[in-house]
Amino acid sequence: MEDSRFVLMGVLARPHGIRGEVCVDWYADSPAALQGRFFLQEGKAPPLLARAAEVREHQGRPLLRLEGVCDRAGADRLRGMKILVLKEDLPEPDEGEAYLHQLLGLTVVLDEEDRVLGRLDHVEFPAGREVWAIVTPEGREVLFPAVEEFVNGFDLERGEVFIAPPPGLLDIYLNDQEPAPDEYDGDDAHR
């Protein structure tokens, strides 16, 4: 079971160079949290307090060197560890902004139709892109690209987030029709 006191901020990826730096798949806008108190978690093990020796940016992504890690082998052993921050350590979001963990569980509303699509269940980050997994009342999962042009806002008090999906996206997930059968009968080997 996940510890609700923590927020997932990123994952340690591959080593960078030979000095113990590791690339970070970072899910927040700013890597500033790496300058303060943060924790590392391997699998389901308890989170352990970590301390940055150095943080710098390289090609748009944070590079982190932890205290006590000074070579490539040490950095490689960190691969896949989650970077967690206590919710209490996060600064208050600016007006009109929210942290991703605050949106989880909210009702997702199709803004133009004012129709409930489902509930924001979890978030994935394939190739560093934020993708929301929305579960419909029927139990279907819709993978939604959470980019500014498709997310219209949220109301934390009402428990709603408003989206405007690109044309055709919902058809991929919600179309009840079976795909048309392949007309190829197997007899023509030279198609």
Question: Which pTM does this prediction carry?
Answer: 0.69
In the chain, the percentage of residues whose pLDDT exceeds 90 is 60
Residue 181 confidence (pLDDT) above 70: no
Look at residue 151 in the predicted model and tell me its pLDDT.
Answer: 94
Look at residue 2 in the predicted model and tell me its pLDDT.
Answer: 65
> What are 12-31's pLDDT values in tens digits?
999 999 999 999 998 877 77
Once rounded to an integer, what is the mean pLDDT over residues 81-99? 87
Residue 143 confidence (pLDDT) above 80: yes
The full DSSP string for 10-71 is EEEEEEETTTTEEEEEE-SS-GGGGGS-EEEE-TTSPPEEE-EEEEEEETTEEEEEETT--S
C-alpha–C-alpha distance, residues 110 and 162, integer Å? 6
Look at residue 111 in the predicted model and tell me its pLDDT.
Answer: 83
Backbone angles phi and psi of 126, in degrees to 5 = -65, 135
Other Cβ atoms less than 10 A from the Cβ of 94: the count is: 7
